[in-house]
């Protein structure tokens, strides 16, 4: 299972361009939704420099990166909520995402009309937040109606839990109506669990990608600082990205891309930055496995147990979990091989409750 990121934004903001940059894709930059209503779905390798270092040291037959899936639904969320049959499907895909990217237009181009008639980053961010809230409010209203119906025939224990849910959803609704997204609400862990079932859009971590033009690159850093001071929240980040340039960059081979990056003074590719910030937003870390000549990187939530990490690889590994042999990335680098790490006592035996740390190299032992 890879992480799943949904791309939203106003039409003509550069959603498909950013999608292509992130997935090295060649999706048609035109209104594909109007043509056939199928979203663009693409998979990107998660850049993980430590994977290459391990590969250079251990010479595996195969190196496998973790993956991230991006979905460019190519339609406004509001139109989906109001819309017809196929809309439900697209909205579902967005609801299933782990995080959202909101592409906001900053580039100036007379030949590409702005849907709102003028450039205004702040206005467009507000507009998108309203669309997401609109979708959540529709869902909340439907659920509250259903709770009302269920309450009529409910027996005491069920009644209690319905009332608790009603109280919480009413509170969430009131906050949304005051333009407070669910991700900013102070809620208990128990409430978070109930809310997670609904997959609310404003509950998802949000990355605002401000799509700038090439000529704005010299000002990108100061622009980004200003945007950060306004929009950064624990579950909301903002970055500037030159979508068009990044898309061209994504189509080049590695050495050409490097030259190109230097020429434009880009320290990190857009793909690398977006993934890095998304990982921070989602609290993800990497661990590595080396099995029968294959070295693989995996992404998990910070705080995941060895048992659950094993289950991420295969459900059989979770069911038949015996123990994990763990060596920290830095220790393995110092030793040069797993065998040497074992000799030096740096290979630890851990049980199912061990909390996996970023960079752990793990061999799971399990019964089938």
Ligand X SMILES: Nc1nc2c(ncn2[C@@H]2O[C@H](COP(=O)(O)OP(=O)(O)O)[C@@H](O)[C@H]2O)c(=O)[nH]1
Q: Which is nearer to Mg ion, 76 or 289 (CB)?
A: 76
Residue range at the interface with ligand X (CB under 6 A); choices 80-88, 105-113, 149-157, 265-273: 105-113
Of 16, 23, 76, 269, which one interacts with Mg ion (CB under 5 A)? 16
Window 70-109: residues binding Mg ion (CB under 5 A): 74
Of residues 73-92, which lie at the interface with ligand X (CB under 6 A)? Answer: 74
Q: In what order do the strands lie in the sheet with 361-366?
A: 62-64, 294-301, 284-291, 361-366, 321-327, 348-350
Sign (positive/negative) of CA torsion 281, 328, 65, 248?
positive
Q: Which of 216, 265, 260 is nearest to 104 (CA)?
A: 216
**9: partner contacted, choices ligand X, Mg ion, none (Cβ within 5-8 A by kind):** ligand X
In the bound complex, what is the minimum distance in angstroms from residue 353's beta carbon to ligand X? 46
Question: Which among 24, 98, 103 is positioned nearest to 284, based on CA atoms?
Answer: 98
Q: Tell me, what DSSP letter sits at residue 233?
A: B
Q: Find the shortest distance in angstroms from Cβ 220 to Mg ion.
A: 23
Q: Which of 107/364 has CB closer to ligand X?
A: 107
Site for ligand X in 195-224 (CB under 6 A): 211, 213
Sign for the CA dihedral angle at 44, 241, 121, 119 comes to negative
d(CA 186, CA 200): 15
CB of 13 to Mg ion, least distance (A): 9
Binding residue (CB under 6 A) for ligand X from 181, 205, 243, 270? 243
DSSP string for residues in 60-86? -SEEE--EEEEEE--S-HHHHHH--HH
Listed ranges 106-114, 139-147, 230-238, 302-310: which one lies at the site for ligand X (CB under 6 A):
106-114
At residue 253, the 3 state secondary structure works out as coil
211 binds, among Mg ion, ligand X, none (CB under 5 to 8 A by kind): ligand X
- Name the token pair of 141: 């209203």
Q: Which stretch binds ligand X (CB under 6 A): 84-92, 104-112, 295-303, 315-323?
A: 104-112
Task: Tell me the number of residues near Mg ion by CB under 5 A.
Answer: 3
53, two tokens: 């270092």
Q: Answer yes or no whether residue 39 interacts with ligand X by CB under 6 A.
A: no
Cα distance between residue 243 and residue 239, in whole Å: 12
Half-sphere exposure (Cβ direction) of 362: Cα atoms closer than 13 Å = 31
Among 16, 135, 240, 289, binds ligand X (CB under 6 A): 16
Q: Closest Cα to residue 204, out of 283, 133, 82, 98?
A: 98
The reply on whether position 17 binds Mg ion by CB under 5 A is no
* Interface residue list for ligand X (CB under 6 A): 9, 11-17, 29, 74, 107, 109, 112, 211, 213, 242-244
């Amino acid at each position: 299972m890879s992480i799943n990121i949904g791309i939203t934004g106003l039409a003509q903001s550069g959603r498909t361009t950013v999608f292509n940059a992130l997935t090295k894709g060649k999706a048609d930059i035109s209104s594909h939704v109007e043509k056939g209503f199928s979203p663009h779905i693409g998979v990107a390798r998660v850049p993980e420099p430590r994977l290459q270092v391990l590969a250079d040291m251990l010479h595996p037959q195969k190196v496998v990166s973790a993956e991230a899936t991006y979905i460019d639904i190519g339609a406004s969320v509001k139109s989906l909520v109001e819309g017809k049959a196929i809309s439900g499907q697209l909205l579902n895909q967005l609801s299933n995402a782990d995080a959202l990217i909101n592409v906001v237009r900053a580039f100036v181009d007379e030949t590409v009309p702005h849907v709102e008639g003028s450039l205004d980053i702040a206005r467009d961010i507000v507009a998108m937040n309203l669309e997401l809230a609109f979708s959540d409010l529709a869902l909340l209203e439907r659920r509250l109606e259903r709770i009302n119906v269920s309450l009529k025939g409910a027996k005491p224990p069920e009644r209690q839990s319905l009332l608790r849910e009603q109280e919480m959803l009413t509170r969430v609704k009131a906050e949304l109506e005051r333009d407070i997204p669910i991700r900013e609400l102070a809620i208990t862990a128990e409430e978070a669990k109930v809310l997670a079932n609904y997959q609310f859009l404003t509950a998802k971590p949000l990355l605002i990608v401000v799509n700038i033009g090439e000529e704005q690159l010299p000002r990108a850093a100061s622009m980004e600082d200003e945007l950060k001071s306004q929009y950064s929240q624990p579950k909301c980040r903002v970055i500037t990205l030159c979508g068009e340039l990044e898309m061209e960059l994504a189509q080049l081979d590695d050495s050409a891309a490097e030259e190109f990056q230097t020429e434009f003074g880009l320290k990190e590719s857009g793909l690398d930055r977006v993934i890095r910030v998304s990982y921070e937003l989602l609290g993800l870390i990497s661990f590595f496995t080396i099995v029968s000549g294959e070295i693989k990187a995996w992404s998990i939530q910070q705080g995941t147990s060895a048992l659950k990490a094993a289950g991420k690889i295969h459900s059989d590994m979770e069911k038949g979990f015996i123990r994990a042999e763990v060596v920290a990335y830095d220790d393995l680098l110092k030793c040069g091989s797993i065998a040497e790490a074992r000799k030096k006592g740096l290979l630890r035996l851990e049980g199912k409750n061990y909390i996996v740390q970023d960079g752990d190299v793990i061999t799971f032992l399990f019964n089938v």
